[in-house]
Structure 1
Amino acid sequence: MSDVTPDGPAEHTPASTAELVHRAAEQVSRLVRDELALARAEMTEKGRRAGVGAGLLGSGGLVAMYGVAAMLAAVVLGLAEVMPGWLAALLVSVLLFGCAAGLALLGRGRLRQAGPPVPEEAVRSVRADIDELKERAHR
């Protein structure tokens, strides 16, 4: 019975432990490189799809903003039927600035509650892993 390796027919002499470890390291290295290449290709494709989706979403938001501007113009023109035009525009502007201030204050409060943008749980987990490895190395 003859064994076949990726390099051709296997020799019938038993391989030394060092050779086996070397082959295993090469195979693991090749496997890791291949897996990383596959992950990179997969993420590139997902990134393209996400980019197209984000572009469409942004375009929809821009068109909606124009719709809101047209609606506000209609409100100003409607109010201008019962009061001077400048007063109608001023009233709508004051209401919009009030809404903007309220949203800004609400957002600031939520940002303060969120804390620092550090993945604290992941950092804690990595530190625990490092401590465990150090402890095992000292044994």
Structure 2
Amino acid sequence: MTTGYEPEHRTVDNDGSVGHLLGQVAGDLSKLFRQEVALAKAELKEEAAKAGKAGGMLAGAGFAGYMVTVLLTLALVFALGAVIPLGWAALIVAVLWGVVGGVLYVVGRKRMKDVDPVPRQTVETLREEAQWVRGQTS
């Protein structure tokens, strides 16, 4: 769903004052900005719907993967239980999962420290645009 900017066709007043013309420009810029925001909202809504469907599929895949892991864990416990007592087999498998979880936690925490929550490029672009607008109006 896309909507485009449709400029109004006006006649130019030859006797219009500079203030009046600046007012019209400001009004047009305001209208353009509102239309751009509306377009962005429509696009985001459309993409959010797609992302929601994809997220549901990924959640289903995650659950299926979880079930596979549980069943493989049980199979490993029973396989070890054929050689050693079942209680010890379960404890060994639990310790293995504890080690895997610990390693994943340490690696994940380290990578999380590298995440920068501030969108620096967007902030810089907004600053540049604000300076450009100030330069155009002065």
**What are the ranges of 5 or more consecutive residues in structure 1 without an aligned counterpart?**
none
Change (3 A) 1:16 1:109: closer
Query: 1:111: Cα distance to partner?
Result: 3.1
Query: 1:74: Cα distance to partner?
Result: 0.8
Match for 1:23: what amino acid? Answer: Q
Identify the structure with bigger relative contact order (alpha carbons < 8 Å, sequence gap 6+): 2
TM-score under structure 1 normalisation? 0.71
Change (3 A) 1:91 1:11: closer
Match for 1:51: what amino acid? Answer: G
Q: Which runs of 4+ in 1 moved over 3 A?
A: 10-13, 115-123
| Count of equivalent residues | 125
Give a deviation string over 1:71-92, Cα, whole Å, max 9, x none. Answer: 1111111111112111111111
Q: Does 1:48 align with 2:82?
A: no
Rg comparison, structure with higher value: 1
TM-score under structure 2 normalisation? 0.72
Distance 1:11 1:53 in 2: 51
Query: 1:38: Cα distance to partner?
Result: 0.9
Give a deviation string over 1:62-105, Cα, whole Å, max 9, x none. Answer: 11101110011111111111121111111111111111112222
TM alignment of 1:15-54, pairs within 5 A:
15-54=16-55
